[in-house]
Amino acid sequence: MADSDLDNSPAVRRLADWDDETLGSLAEEYDTPLYVTDLDRVTENYLRFSAAFPEAHVMYAAKAHTGKSVLESLLSVGADIECAAWGELQRSIDAGADPNTLQYTAVNPPDHDLDYAVDLADNAPGLTITIGATDTLDRLQERGYDGRIAIRINPGIGTGHHEKVATGNDAKFGIPYEQVPEVADRVREEFDLVGIHSHAGSGVLTDDLEDHCRAIERVGEMARRVGPLEFVDIGGGFGVPYHEDEPPLDLEKTAEMVREAIGEIEAQLKLEPGRYIVADAGLILTTVNTIKETPSATVVGVDASLATLIRPAMFGSYHPMLNVTAPEREAHPVTVGGPVCTSADVFATDRPIARPERRDVLAIGNAGSYGYELASQFHSQPRPAEVALEDGEARVVRRRETLDDVTRVEQ
């Protein structure tokens, strides 16, 4: 991508910026519910973020969207991949990643995960394993591993859009701050200590940066205490605006505040954006099947559900919605829900949307991050297809599941 193309790439892509006619055609051709991922937007977002941190090594946090087409697109523009589980390691390799460039952030890793990582490192000594518990060091030693280790720090400060993602103050994640120097001494004796790592939380926007940078300051302080190091990894967590009236993350201000917070370090700065790269590059198309007028609400039933997108049910997340079929109609407040038998299966309550009618196609925006990754087969619903857009062309990158796919593993 040329620099001029990147300059013309907006900091956030709103749902209204998608082409209604294109989306309607995709729904007609591929049926709904349907995930749509714009791979050009994925690479634009990565390149924009990287340009804001020219001195840093920017990796992609695969857990946000591990689809092969997304990984291939990011690898093609020079991204490396950070993985949180063995399956993400394997899928990154399948997409073309050099295992020597991968970073595996182990959180209470099952035995199978550690077995896989250690076996992988036998032939890929550049693989880095990030540990968040001394118990993991013991288990790695039992497997004969003495390679590259990064220590995940718990800075005692959590940030982000929801308490369930404020990992920087959650005992589940990382070595307690004051224990890090002692653990670093042990790692140097028994392994190859190459870095320290921290991740304060997710969904951080400009107004959250002060808290986020307080956590980064503590990481910088610890880096100076336990150095020398090859790298200092401050994780990701940088967000996108889900509400239409929220401003996008100010990347220039973010980069300036991060540099000031980390301070002088004799190490490579690493960042691991995930949500920022893929969130506004993806959406869901869903078809209206029911309109029900009640004394308290107009209920619009659609064929997507919490099995398609669980974020509203899990986090109370807001996702913008648009009537693709008739955006010009007068907006009416409606409640939009799916076919799952729980009150949690609701995408919007009293949301003004161009008055939906049966067979209209609605779009649910900002679904590219932690959308398909958290999709399930609840109610024996096969998971949806995913179509990728690239250079003006559409192609199926994940076929629609069938009931045979749902039941195949049963015996």
Binding residues: 237, 272-275, 311, 370
Pick from 386, 369, 280: nearest CA to 64: 369
Q: What are phi and psi of 332, to 5 degrees?
A: -130, 145
Alpha carbon of residue 364 to chain centroid: 17
Confirm if 15 and 366 have CB atoms less than 8 A apart: yes
H or E stretch including 361?
A: strand 361-364
Catalytic residue chosen out of the listed positions 171, 341, 359, 391: 341
DSSP string for residues in 242-277: -STTSPPP-HHHHHHHHHHHH-S-SSEEEE--SHHH
CA distance 369 to 375: 11
Q: Which residues, at least 6 apart from 160, have a Cβ–Cβ distance to it below 8 Å?
A: 166, 167, 200, 201, 202, 203, 204, 208, 237, 239
| 341 has catalytic annotation | yes
Confirm if 214 and 198 have CB atoms less than 8 A apart: no
CA distance 163 to 171: 13
- In the annotated binding site for substrate, the residues are 275, 311, 370
Q: Which residues, at least 6 apart from 286, have a Cβ–Cβ distance to it below 8 Å?
A: 32, 33, 34, 302, 303, 304, 308, 338, 361, 362, 363, 364
List % helix, strand, coil for the chain (3-state, nearest 5).
Answer: 40, 25, 40
Q: Which residues, at least 6 apart from 99, have a Cβ–Cβ distance to it below 8 Å?
A: 89, 93, 120, 123, 124, 126, 127
Give one word for 359, left, alpha or beta, with left for phi > 0 and alpha for psi -120 to 50.
Answer: left
- In the annotated binding site for pyridoxal 5'-phosphate, the residues are 237, 272-275, 370
Just list the catalytic residues: 341
